[in-house]
Amino acid sequence: MFKLLPTIGDTVALVGCSNPLNTMYSYQEEHIVRLLSSFGLKVKISPTLYRESGCQERAQALMDMYLDPQVKAIFDISGGDLALGVLEHLDFDAISNNPKPMWGYSDLTCVINGIYHRTGNPQVLYSIRNLFLDDTGYQAREFEKAMSGGQELFEPTWHMFQGRGVSGTLVGGNIRCFLKLSGTGIMPDLTDKVLFLESRSGDAYRIQSMMEQLRLQGAFDKVKGVLIGTFTELDKKLGRDAALDLIVREIGNKDLPIAYTNDVGHGADSKALVIGQDISI
């Protein structure tokens, strides 16, 4: 049975499909391993985390975790620019036949959306590194609760900006990395989907250009609604209200339901969203 979270006694994997990690920060990964172990989990680690490797090698390291019957969930702890390259080397039939959730965010947006599109299996937009980066301990507590059925980790607070509500299957993530899928044949069909967007970097001009690309592709005519997470740099430079106004203006569809949250994005306090699962607001 497909499940989003591991349970006590399960084995999980830490992988890196994007840029290699800097060895000077290996203490972060070691801390995450200790935390996961304290939750009753066993941890396997990809051999490509800290060294330069080609797309095919990183893809094979990921496939090894999918094909390992002991591994029940996969957490990508990398980020940067290189994740897209693994997609052409994945065996989606094998992934379909060995269903397990992959958790990742930022550059991994393209991978988890691509896997959902080709397999139909839900994936999780969330960085397991938050267990280390959040020094309040909230993330670790909520993740452990989620292993026992708690839902707070997956329940951001939404505010309607336009319209009364929206429901549908969720896709999206980091806007820059989601757009990497354009023209690849691996981008999810946006028809009747709910599209979530967030970003860490990007001033007004850059975010405007990416929103224009989505609009010119017809995205905002196809989807049932748009959900907006935090846009870290844009929110800081313009203020949250002005940033939301810019994004909504670029969507350009006054009849489209739009909601926003301050709880999902690149902050260490970010909550999780499930790509490929129905959401209702």
DSSP assignment of 223-252 equals -SEEEEEEEHHHHHHH-HHHHHHHHHHHH-
Query: Which phi and psi angles does 188 have, rounded to 5°?
Result: -60, 145
Give the C-alpha separation, 177 to 219, whole Å. Answer: 15
Left (φ > 0), alpha (ψ -120 to 50) or beta: where does 142 sit?
alpha
Give the pLDDT confidence of 248-276 residue by residue, as tens digits.
999 999 999 999 999 999 999 999 999 99
55-62 mean pLDDT: 98
Mean pLDDT score across all residues of the chain: 97
Which residue spans of the chain are classified as CATH 3.50.30.60? 155-280
Give the pLDDT confidence of 127-177 residue by residue, as tens digits.
999 999 999 999 999 999 999 999 999 999 999 999 999 999 999 999 999
**Using 50, 70 and 90 to split pLDDT, how confident is the model at 2?**
confident
Class for the domain spanning 11-151:
alpha beta
C-alpha triplet 238, 242, 245: angle, nearest 5°? 140
Return the percentage of the chain with pLDDT > 70, whole number: 100
Quote the pLDDT of residue 51: 94
pTM of the model: 0.97
Report whether pLDDT(1) > 60. Answer: no
Fold of 155-280: Glucose Oxidase; domain 1 (3.50.30)
Which residue spans of the chain are classified as CATH 3.40.50.10740? 11-151
Spell out the residues 6+ positions from residue 166 whose beta carbon is closer than 8 angstroms to its own.
194, 224, 225, 227, 257, 259, 280, 281
104-122 mean pLDDT: 98
